[in-house]
A and B are shown apart, each in its own frame.
Chain A
């Protein structure tokens, strides 16, 4: 890579404690991803963590399933409401989950089910349980503690409708394909976090 283009962003802050990590050998994690916290962070096989994605395990352990894609500037395990902090507040992503750019998933036994897409800038509140193969459209918000059934589309300021396309299989295949490409695009450096 040429050094002509410099990022205007400030350097990635490496402040905070370094969390214990459990990485699968096949993951792709960018050098500039931010992993902080005290609880363990586990990332399973073939998942991709983009640069500047932030995984904060200060509140609880973070588990990312197989073949997930965590995009730039998204935050897993963010704590927004500092008042109601739970001692053990985990974030669990199932397999094939996409967390889009700038999305935030708050800590607090939050579960995002298999194949779900968390859209750009969306927010999943603490303790929410999102079902399998859901779609959260950009900037939609899931309140804390809410339970979203499987195959739900959350759109247009919180409206819900069932997804009847039946493309779950196809979507998984697409994800695998995308991860194939991403693996070639993103230089991985899991040893930095070990």
Chain B
């Protein structure tokens, strides 16, 4: 079984509807109301919904105005730029509408292995001059070109696609059908139809031409033919039917045509006869020119190919779904299912997005618009606002105390012994520049089928501010002169020592066999505090009674839900950092932030 490294996931409050609009002000009546129903409700990390609301701290953002955590699910995205991941070209959004969401600058992916494709010249005949260029790309005058994958050696010649020029591949590819036949554009097709030499050709030749056209009808041509046919059908009866002069403006967008259609369906009395007449006047497409495409149910060619190439010759569903929409493609019945039908895939464009808080609409993440830079203009990550939690198994050396944790408990990722108390060190690190008060709440028994006992030995503690040494020196009221640096250093050192001793009274250092004491923190640093959590893992032994379900996946993972509440005093909206120091305390306001998190400690030995 895979070892499990301890993890901490934080539940974004957005998944809890009652807390969505909650303000950070503890005096608001809403908070009191919410307390009533919040109190007896424990967050269950195993509930199916929890899968979608738990995030590692690194994934979370923080809205400075709402004072709330924001997860990837509850921010609204705004697209800053579109760019091609291959050539890093920024595509204007106007181009996007006209040319689609794929790169049009000769960036292609291999349809087999999605590697990038390169344009290489196809060797037509062995040319001694090619010796000068071993990779055969540099020879400028050599013949047709193809796209080649340098990883899996796929070339576009396998689909029968060759290019005349080494540049403008995207435009060339759009004109090419599989097998190298060119695709007629709509304009060319129209010209060809009008061409007198084509029209007045002998009937037999025309029939031959037509049957050839039958095969060639693809999605684009079929749609164009059908559209023109129905347009003419709609126009014709209107012109001929003089009795309906009032409705002579019948067309695509006329409201009267809608009523006419409705009368067909509802069998309305007034228009019934006329409508029937009209329906009789409409006919369906009868011809390839009119967009009729007979279903080609003869799949013998495909079967023969399958027999020849076998299963390896067929394209997988993922390969087929990766294929870009191709207007030159055959009708549904003739669509390729073989590897030899796959076309190069133009790279899908990617986006850079800025993120907004859904409540206050403030931007909480905004990348640099330039594609090449990876910097952010604004990025309010939760890691710089809420304390990070690190979990470490704590092995109590000596083992004389009643806990007597087994030797394996000290190794990270080791299995937990059922019904054996294990200790974990939980280290909170304060990222903000104020000292914070942390209150923890955890259920005595974990929710779920197998309830483990949990005891947080010190559920309430303070963490000092994340100030650096220099900040501390500035705040020191006694330190005035520049010469007193060493003195102040020593004083600070002493003060820190004092604080450490104060904090570690319960710990008693190593002198007293690392005895754990309830209500005392384990260790304390400049901006971090470690506390001990004791767990007694549940036994996973099943009572073989009636209705007992077997162990499911991850039933053995010991997860503790924990409610974290942080309180701190912050400047009351004042942005100017320097001005606050001299001011009185009224300018500061109390803030609090509360959220559920899940501590994954490890797996219990079955």
Contact = CB atoms under 8 A, between A and B. Distances in A.
Our verdict on whether A and B bind, yes or no, reads: yes
Interface of A: 135, 137, 153, 155-156, 160-161, 163-167, 169-170, 173-174, 176-178
Contact of B130 (A135, A161, A164, A173): A173
Contact of A165 (B126, B135, B153): B153
Contact of B153 (A135, A169, A170): A135
Interface of B: 112-113, 123, 126, 130-131, 134-136, 148, 151-155, 157-158, 312, 339
21 contacts: A153-B153, A156-B152, A160-B312, A161-B112, A161-B152, A161-B153, A161-B154, A164-B158, A165-B148, A165-B155, A166-B123, A167-B123, A169-B123, A170-B123, A170-B126, A170-B130, A170-B136, A173-B131, A174-B134, A177-B131, A178-B134
Given A173-B130, A173-B131, A163 B153 contact: yes
Contacts of A160: 312
Given A155-B113, A161-B112, A137 B157 contact: no
Contacts of B339: 161
Nearest to B158: A164
B323 to A, nearest CB: 17
A164 B155 contact: yes
A173 B130 CA distance: 9
B151 A137 contact: yes
Given A137-B152, A155-B151, A173-B131, 12 more contacts: A137-B151, A153-B152, A155-B152, A161-B152, A161-B154, A164-B157, A165-B148, A165-B155, A165-B157, A169-B126, A170-B123, A174-B136
Contacts of A170: 123, 126, 130, 136
Given A160-B312, A161-B112, A173-B131, A167 B152 contact: no
A154 B131 CA distance: 27
Nearest to B154: A161
Nearest to B152: A155
A167 B312 contact: no
A16 to B, nearest CB: 36
B135 A174 contact: yes
A167 B136 contact: yes
A110 B157 CA distance: 33
* A-B residue pairs, 6 tightest by C-beta: A174-B134, A155-B152, A163-B153, A177-B134, A153-B153, A165-B155
Contacts of A137: 151-152
Contacts of B136: 167, 170, 174
Contacts of B131: 173, 176-177
Contacts of A177: 131, 134
Query: Is chain B's binding surface mostly helix, strand, loop or mixed?
Result: loop
Contacts of B113: 155-156
Nearest to A165: B155
A170 B339 CA distance: 25
Contacts of A167: 123, 136
A161 B158 CA distance: 12
B120 to A, nearest CB: 9
A177 B148 CA distance: 21
A164 B113 CA distance: 15
A161 B309 CA distance: 11
A87 to B, nearest CB: 38
A169 B136 CA distance: 12
B310 to A, nearest CB: 12
Contacts of B152: 137, 153, 155-156, 161
Nearest to A155: B152
Contacts of B135: 174
Contact of B134 (A163, A166, A173): A173
Contacts of A163: 153
A150 to B, nearest CB: 13
A19 B243 CA distance: 107
Nearest to B146: A165
B112 to A, nearest CB: 7
A134 B112 CA distance: 17
A137 B112 CA distance: 14
Contacts of B112: 161
A150 B450 CA distance: 58
A126 to B, nearest CB: 26
A76 B112 CA distance: 31
A119 B153 CA distance: 13
A17 B155 CA distance: 47
Nearest to A156: B113
Contacts of B158: 164
Nearest to A133: B153
A123 B45 CA distance: 45
Contacts of B157: 164-165
Contacts of A174: 134-136
Contacts of A155: 113, 151-152
Contacts of A156: 113, 152
B250 to A, nearest CB: 57
Contacts of A135: 153
A155 B153 CA distance: 10
A90 B285 CA distance: 72
A119 to B, nearest CB: 10
Contacts of B151: 137, 155
A176 B152 CA distance: 23
B159 to A, nearest CB: 10
A160 B313 CA distance: 11
B322 to A, nearest CB: 14
B130 to A, nearest CB: 7
Nearest to B148: A165
A167 B155 CA distance: 11
Contacts of B134: 173-174, 177-178
Interface centre among A156, A165, A178 (most CB of B within 10 A): A165
A165 to B, nearest CB: 5
